[in-house]
Amino acid sequence: MRLIVRKERPHPGAQLRITDLDGHRITAFVTNTSRGQVADLELRHRRRARAEDRIRCAKDSGLANLPLHAFDQNQIWCAVVALTGDLVAWMQTLALTGHAARRWEPKRLRLRLLSIAGRLATTGRRTWLHLARPAPFTGLALDGLRRLDALAAPG
């Protein structure tokens, strides 16, 4: 078994912890993989941490508490939460490129983007989405919708 310890500077704006020494953050992980370069092992470890971040986000989106009584109902609830996680991840990847919103947690997304008041209007054969102008992130939401619309446009 190997213990791999790394000392690195926290990213700008990161809150320092009591365990940080001289402005450096100490990270460590243990592995029983006998072969491989340290950089490859660290990459594998960081990818696992990313998967755990997705699990934490799913818990924030409703997976932490099963609200219904029957097993079948809660199974459907889990499927809806998983679908929500996939949609949010793809939305952040495709629609929110080049903005800090790409890394926002679900709670912040709900507060800033998904809670913008809107109204659907149907005229003729077209459906329009009207979003509230005074909302601070309406421009970001509209830019994301334009990006998604450009991806879906034929040819």
Which residue would you say has higher pLDDT here, 144 or 39? Answer: 144
Nearest to 104 by CA among 53, 42, 152: 53
Band (pLDDT 50/70/90 cuts) for residue 36 is confident
C-beta separation of 106 from 88 below 8 A: yes
Q: Across residues 27-56, what is the average pLDDT?
A: 81
Which residue would you say has higher pLDDT here, 53 or 132? Answer: 132
Q: Which two tokens stand for residue 72?
A: 């079948």
Q: How far apart are CA 46 and CA 105, in angstroms?
A: 18
Report pLDDT for 126: 92
Report pLDDT for 113: 92
Band (pLDDT 50/70/90 cuts) for residue 24 is confident
Which residue would you say has higher pLDDT here, 93 or 16? Answer: 93
pLDDT value at 46 more than 80: no
Residue 89 backbone phi and psi in degrees, to 5:
-65, -45
Q: How far apart are CA 28 and CA 2, in angstroms?
A: 10
Q: How far apart are CA 154 and CA 83, in angstroms?
A: 25
Q: Which two tokens stand for residue 57?
A: 């986000």
pLDDT value at 139 more than 80: yes
pLDDT value at 152 more than 70: yes
Report pLDDT for 155: 64
Which residues, 6 or more positions from 127, have their beta carbon under 8 angstroms from its beta carbon? 120, 121
User: What is the pLDDT of the chain when averaged over all its residues?
Assistant: 87
Which residue would you say has higher pLDDT here, 119 or 63? Answer: 119
C-beta separation of 1 from 32 below 8 A: yes
Cβ atoms within 10 Å of 58's Cβ, excluding its own = 19
C-beta separation of 104 from 95 below 8 A: no
